[in-house]
Structure 1
Amino acid sequence: MTLRDLFTPLALVLALALAAATLAGFVLVPAGTILPVHWGISGQADGFLPRDAALLLLPGIFVLVIALIWLSTRLNAPERVAGARHGLRVVVPGLLALCLVIQAATILIGMGQPVDMVRIIVLALGLLFVLLGNVLPKSQPNAVSGVRLPWTMASPANWQATNRLVGLLMLLAGLAMAIAALLTSSPYALLAVVTAGVLIPLLAGTLYSYRLSRR
């Protein structure tokens, strides 16, 4: 699998939009501005970087993630990664969209605009979970993406059933995150929804897959 396989036309457009937003940030945010890059459970920013480092952080993280995905596909035999092609071509634009939203919000903060970053992140994360929830049931056994457990990798039927269940739970979790972000600004409530949205599909999928393997 090549980098061209990972970047659909939509992904390329979003990548260009992220690059444009980053360049715009250097123009719109005054030099020397200190920008928040991390928020604690109280909803208050507790991690900061100078403007240049803050604006390059998300593009850098995305490049690193893509490099790791590409390396993973190169280290496995083609037949072990073929089933990941469809999912990755959907996930990459989703990750780019998430980075773009957070980058735009960071620039607004640097321009002095009031932004509730926690709500924005939870809303964007919820939409990403909805996207992932739709992709997982369509995935095929592979060594790169999906619910890769010893029991799912050993049985195509187990893989299909487990990824279908986890996909449904992630979709519901994503909807819950998005609705919570629209209805409340309480960081503690939002953290609880996100934590449940991550752990429930993970734990339920693992237990379900294991029980299927024991039948």
Structure 2
Amino acid sequence: MIKSLFNRYNLKAWVLFAIAIIIAGIALPELPKQIPIHFNVAGEIDNYGSRYMIFLAPALILIFQVIAEVSRHIDPKKENYDVFTNYYYQIIFAVDLMILAIEGITIAAAFGKNVYISTIMPAMMGILFVFIGNMMPKFKHNYTIGIKTSWTLANEQVWYETHRFAGKVWVIGGLVEVSTVFVPVPWKFITFFIVILLMVIIPIVFSYIRYKNK
């Protein structure tokens, strides 16, 4: 298990972890005692925490790495990962990259820079959704990643059809999320959460319909 944490697919993620640690260590002495840890829907800072919270980003990357590896090894369908291993680790890397970007945003905000969080976050999330949507049709039957409903887990053909369909839904949803950067702030986050809700519900309903049709 320990050895698999440092396999060749995980190498890029560990590089991001090292970068996150180095950036946090360099920034720490210069950071104010309190740094922003939360922004409201208007992109304004509404909560502060200790400057040592800057190490939360590398901690999250580490935790995510361990959880992803453990989940893969205890999955009852773990043999299927051999077919889509590369895509699995690409998604892990993409999430880690976003965590690293958030660390940079936090540091910039702590130094008083205007980071336009209400624009940056929807754009980053949208790009991540598009990326995951493109990966979805490659997901093989498993219990860790993907649209895990009773119907997709019960039937591999339903799993396959659902993920081909859900991939398109997530790509479209991601593009819509990116486009919200041009939407006024009061509507930006309403649109954001409505789109996420549809991205979750539509594939679930689709998997149920396909299972019943089988």
Q: Which range, TM-score by smaller chain?
A: 0.7 to 0.9
What is the CA-CA distance between 1:19 and the residue it aligns to? 2.6
What is the CA-CA distance between 1:9 and the residue it aligns to? 4.3
- Residues 5 and 85, structure 1, Cα contact 8 Å, conserved in 2: no
Aligned to 1:162: 162
Aligned to 2:75: 76
Aligned to 1:58: 57
Amino acid paired to 1:20: I
How far apart, CA to CA, are the structure 2 residues paired with 1:6 and 1:205? 33
What is the CA-CA distance between 1:162 and the residue it aligns to? 0.6
Deviations 1:183-212 (A, max 9, x none): 24x433221232122111211101010011
- Residues 25 and 107, structure 1, Cα contact 8 Å, conserved in 2: yes
- Residues 136 and 164, structure 2, Cα contact 8 Å, conserved in 1: yes
Deviations 1:79-104 (A, max 9, x none): 26545623321111111110111111
Match among 195, 198, 201 for residue 203 of structure 1: 201
Amino acid paired to 1:200: L
2:190 is equivalent to residue 192 of structure 1: yes
Identity of paired residues, percent? 21
- Residues 162 and 209, structure 1, Cα contact 8 Å, conserved in 2: yes
TM-score, normalised relative to structure 2: 0.87
SS across alignment from 1:43? coil
How far apart, CA to CA, are the structure 1 residues paired with 2:172 and 2:7? 29
Ranges in structure 1 where 5+ consecutive residues have no aligned partner: none
The structure-2 alpha-carbon separation of the partners of 1:153 and 1:142, relative to structure 1 and needing over 3 Å to count, comes to same
How far apart, CA to CA, are the structure 2 residues paired with 1:174 and 1:24? 34
Amino acid paired to 1:211: I
What is the CA-CA distance between 1:38 and the residue it aligns to? 1.5
SS across alignment from 1:209? helix
What is the CA-CA distance between 1:6 and the residue it aligns to? 7.7
- Residues 180 and 192, structure 2, Cα contact 8 Å, conserved in 1: no
Large movers: runs of 4+ above 6 Å: none
Deviations 1:134-173 (A, max 9, x none): 1101111112111111111122211111111111111111
Which structure 2 residues correspond to residues 1-215 of structure 1 after superposition, within 5 A? 2-5=4-7, 7-30=9-32, 32=33, 34-53=34-53, 55-77=54-76, 78-79=78-79, 81-82=81-82, 85-181=85-181, 183-184=182-183, 186-215=184-213
Amino acid paired to 2:125: L
- Residues 42 and 118, structure 2, Cα contact 8 Å, conserved in 1: no
- Residues 36 and 49, structure 1, Cα contact 8 Å, conserved in 2: yes
Aligned-residue RMSD, C-alpha: 2.2
The structure-2 alpha-carbon separation of the partners of 1:5 and 1:170, relative to structure 1 and needing over 3 Å to count, comes to farther
TM-score, normalised relative to structure 1: 0.87
The structure-2 alpha-carbon separation of the partners of 1:7 and 1:35, relative to structure 1 and needing over 3 Å to count, comes to farther
- Residues 129 and 171, structure 2, Cα contact 8 Å, conserved in 1: yes
Amino acid paired to 1:65: F
- Residues 126 and 173, structure 2, Cα contact 8 Å, conserved in 1: yes
How far apart, CA to CA, are the structure 2 residues paired with 1:83 and 1:24? 40
